[in-house]
Amino acid sequence: MKISVAVLTGILSLIWPVSLLAEQDDGPVTMRFCYENQQYLPYVIQLGSQGAAISESAGMLTDMVKMATEKAGIKAQFIHYPWKRCIALLESGQVDGIYAAIWQKKREAWGRFPKQGSKPDETLRMWRAEYHIFTHRDSGLQWDGQQFSGVKTGLAAPLGYVADEKLGELNVKAQNNYLPEEGLRLVALQRLDGYVVESAIGEHLLRLSGIEGQIRVLKKVFLYADWYVPLSHQWVSLYPEKARLFWQHLARIREERGKTLYEKYSHIQ
């Protein structure tokens, strides 16, 4: 008796989990990634239009994702939107991964982080970042690692970032949120006490805008953080082994190529 492919697939779906069926598929697996549409060198480069594929250089993080997916036998596609929209797309399963994100327990609602027990597996991180406080050269703002002093107008950070949340918890958050370029400009105009952003991004934007001489960086780091690439719950359920393989290749690329890629994009103006 002959059994059609459709009938056989239906029978198997009753026996095997969907994820196992997906892993058995020998066809090319596609992952769609979303990253923030800003000029955050050396990490990401703002491109002019929304595209389903990126062929040109788009920053060290995008290069790392492209390398990791290639190693894992995955076809990568990219789109870039405001960060909050990337998060919403991940939660709904409309994209399969976003980068880069700091782990928090509540953020596991967005998608799946590489875990070791109840905590993120730091060996599978994408990058380790430092967030500094940028203030005016004449400002009296101080940060001792626990609390601020000399606050007058408040501090800001990008909306939706962990740094923004931490400023709120410390009751020093300014009334409005600003993207880094605008926030640093307002610090230079002494309309903000300070702006918190990842150090390399902040330094690049200062050079780009020509306001380095008006800004100083507080010595004490505001936040140390590991960056990860969370994947959608839907994609990981379909391809659990591919997900783990992707994270493993990403970690290896960070170790072997991360410093070189960082230096390459740090010299772009």
In angstroms, the CA 246 to CA 150 distance is 46
CATH 3.40.190.10 range(s) for the chain read: 29-126+229-266, 129-225
Q: What is the pLDDT of residue 28?
A: 77
Q: What is the pLDDT of residue 21?
A: 37
Q: What is the pLDDT of residue 15?
A: 33
Tokens 């408040």 correspond to what residue? 154
Distance from CA of residue 141 to its chain's centroid?
Answer: 29
- Mapping DSSP onto H, E and C, the string for 27-55 reads CCEEEEEEEECCCECCCECCCCCCCCCCC
Q: What is the CATH number of domain 129-225?
A: 3.40.190.10
Q: What is the pLDDT of residue 47?
A: 75
Q: What is the pLDDT of residue 217?
A: 98
pLDDT digits (tens, 9 = 90+) for 28-44: 799 999 999 888 999 99
pLDDT digits (tens, 9 = 90+) for 72-120: 999 999 999 999 999 999 999 999 999 999 999 999 999 999 999 999 9
Query: Which residue positions in the chain have pLDDT lower than 70?
Result: 1-27, 48-56, 269
Q: What is the pLDDT of residue 181?
A: 95
In angstroms, the CA 243 to CA 29 distance is 11
Q: Which of 223, 179, 177 minimizes the C-alpha distance to 198?
A: 223
Assigned CATH topology for domain 29-126+229-266: D-Maltodextrin-Binding Protein; domain 2 (3.40.190)
- Angle, CA 222 vertex, CA 194 and CA 106 arms, to 5°: 110
Total-model pTM:
0.85
